[in-house]
Amino acid sequence: MFLGIISLLVFATCSSCKTMEGMPQSIIVEPKGITPELAAEEDSITVIATKRFKSNFIKNAFQGKNYRKAWATPIKVPVKFLDEIEGGIVPLEMGGGFQTLSMDLQGPKNIVYTLRSVNKNPDELIPNFARKLNMGNIVMDGMSAQHPYGALVVAPLADAVGILHTHPKLLYLPPQTQLDTFNSRYGGKLFLLEYEPEGSGAWVNRKGVKEITAVVNKAIRKKAPILSNRIDQREML
């Protein structure tokens, strides 16, 4: 019985594809028939993050409806070039991570920004046994449990209660010379642009903030005297 259910689930998820397809591609809806290269001539375009999470009754029953509708909903986004963002930003290095295509970029005032792809590719997280059973697409389908634009909702909620956040903005990055050697991988994709938490705190706009660090305890121990560097417990909570 159990094996029968698993077989049915695998069939429902992978019947149309035998292997993972890599990073999902966004689909330009408006202007109709436009290519990523021609999208560079537009101020904004309408895109669908991905249609990969299209489902059926069986998939919904076993893996949930999740945010499939949000992933497949057309949205209007600005088309941006790096030299027109925040006074001009330039690529530094590719980011890490197992799902998200990311990149750190240098901006004015020594502020570092990060691009994070809306679409995800969890290929590196798939265990070997799942690959052997040809179940990689079940792992990919799990990405539908994340809301593609959740960060944009959380930011104003954080503002309302005075919590620092990275001010994410949604944009479409067309192929462009400013991307240099990164163009083929990053051009023509949907990204969230946000401040990189590590580094200069100039973007925080709070008196006395010089830098942001995730390693709080280490930073506190490093600086003397100890009592001059303490966590604001109320704000942390």
The dihedral through the CA atoms of 211, 217, 223, 224 has a sign that is: positive
Residue 157 structural domain: 2-236
Predicted local distance difference test score (pLDDT) of residue 172: 94
With beta carbons less than 8 A apart as the criterion, state whether 101 and 186 touch.
yes
pLDDT digits (tens, 9 = 90+) for 80-107: 999 999 889 999 888 766 678 899 999 8
Burial 18-51 (b: 16+ CB within 10 A, else e): eebeebbbbebeeeeeeebeebbebeebbbbbbe
Residue 140's nearest CA partner among 27, 47, 5, 50 is 50
Tens place of pLDDT for every residue, the chain, 237 residues? Answer: 544 544 444 444 444 444 446 778 888 889 988 888 888 888 999 999 988 888 778 777 777 788 889 989 999 999 999 999 988 999 988 876 667 889 999 988 888 899 999 988 877 767 677 676 666 677 777 788 889 999 999 999 998 988 888 899 999 999 988 888 888 889 889 999 999 877 677 788 777 777 776 666 666 666 555 556 667 777 777
Residues 122, 59, 25, 69: what is their CA dihedral angle, to the nearest 10 degrees? -120
CB count in 10 Å sphere of residue 85: 19
pLDDT digits (tens, 9 = 90+) for 138-165: 777 778 888 999 999 999 999 898 888 8
pTM of the model: 0.76
List the Cα angle 90/178/92 in 5-degree steps.
30
Domain count, the chain: 1
The dihedral through the CA atoms of 208, 151, 106, 230 has a sign that is: positive
